[in-house]
Amino acid sequence: MKNGICPRCGEAEVYVDRGRDSRPGIIISFWETVLLVRYVCTSCGYVESYVDDEAKLEVIREKWSRVNPVP
Protein backbone atom coordinates (compact mmCIF):
# COMPACT_ATOMS: atom_id res chain seq x y z
CA MET A 1 0.00 0.00 0.00
CA LYS A 2 2.88 2.38 0.69
CA ASN A 3 3.63 2.27 -3.04
CA GLY A 4 0.14 3.56 -3.87
CA ILE A 5 -1.15 0.22 -5.17
CA CYS A 6 -3.62 -1.87 -3.20
CA PRO A 7 -2.30 -5.43 -2.66
CA ARG A 8 -5.84 -6.76 -2.45
CA CYS A 9 -7.49 -5.36 -5.60
CA GLY A 10 -4.53 -3.88 -7.51
CA GLU A 11 -6.11 -0.43 -7.87
CA ALA A 12 -4.21 2.85 -7.44
CA GLU A 13 -6.89 4.47 -5.26
CA VAL A 14 -4.83 4.50 -2.05
CA TYR A 15 -5.02 7.39 0.43
CA VAL A 16 -2.98 8.06 3.58
CA ASP A 17 -3.79 9.88 6.85
CA ARG A 18 -0.20 10.95 7.62
CA GLY A 19 0.00 14.27 9.46
CA ARG A 20 -3.57 14.27 10.73
CA ASP A 21 -4.15 15.16 14.39
CA SER A 22 -6.55 12.28 15.04
CA ARG A 23 -4.25 9.40 14.16
CA PRO A 24 -4.64 6.20 16.17
CA GLY A 25 -1.86 4.85 18.31
CA ILE A 26 -0.50 1.87 20.19
CA ILE A 27 -0.06 2.43 23.91
CA ILE A 28 3.29 1.01 25.00
CA SER A 29 3.43 2.53 28.48
CA PHE A 30 1.46 4.93 30.66
CA TRP A 31 3.43 7.85 29.20
CA GLU A 32 4.15 6.67 25.69
CA THR A 33 2.03 6.08 22.59
CA VAL A 34 3.27 5.08 19.15
CA LEU A 35 1.36 6.82 16.38
CA LEU A 36 0.17 4.89 13.34
CA VAL A 37 -0.18 5.88 9.71
CA ARG A 38 -3.17 4.34 7.94
CA TYR A 39 -3.46 3.58 4.24
CA VAL A 40 -6.93 3.01 2.80
CA CYS A 41 -7.93 1.75 -0.64
CA THR A 42 -11.09 3.55 -1.66
CA SER A 43 -11.80 0.93 -4.33
CA CYS A 44 -12.16 -2.11 -2.07
CA GLY A 45 -11.91 -0.74 1.49
CA TYR A 46 -8.71 -2.57 2.43
CA VAL A 47 -6.74 -0.85 5.25
CA GLU A 48 -3.12 -1.18 6.44
CA SER A 49 -1.50 0.52 9.44
CA TYR A 50 2.18 1.22 10.05
CA VAL A 51 4.21 2.65 12.94
CA ASP A 52 5.07 6.23 11.99
CA ASP A 53 8.29 6.56 14.03
CA GLU A 54 10.90 3.92 13.20
CA ALA A 55 12.73 4.55 16.50
CA LYS A 56 9.62 3.34 18.33
CA LEU A 57 9.96 -0.07 16.65
CA GLU A 58 12.90 -0.76 18.97
CA VAL A 59 10.76 0.15 22.00
CA ILE A 60 8.12 -2.32 20.81
CA ARG A 61 10.80 -5.01 20.37
CA GLU A 62 11.89 -4.45 23.97
CA LYS A 63 8.42 -4.40 25.55
CA TRP A 64 6.27 -6.78 23.49
CA SER A 65 6.38 -10.56 23.14
CA ARG A 66 7.60 -11.87 19.79
CA VAL A 67 5.33 -14.16 17.84
CA ASN A 68 7.23 -17.20 16.67
CA PRO A 69 6.57 -18.27 13.07
CA VAL A 70 4.53 -21.41 12.56
CA PRO A 71 6.13 -23.77 10.01
User: What pLDDT sits at residue 25?
Assistant: 84
What is the per-residue pLDDT for 23? 65
For 7-56, how does the pLDDT look when each residue is reduced to its tens digit (9 = 90+)? 999 999 999 987 666 667 888 888 888 888 999 999 999 999 998 888 99
Handedness of CA 71, 9, 49, 1 (dihedral sign): positive
Strand partners, 41: 14
What pLDDT, in 10s, does the model give residues 60-70? 999 889 999 99
Pairing of strands 25-27, 14-16: unpaired
Q: Residue 57's pLDDT is what?
A: 92
E strand residue ranges, the chain = 14-16, 25-27, 33-41, 47-51
Q: Give domain limits for the chain.
A: 14-63
Q: So what's the pLDDT on residue 11?
A: 97
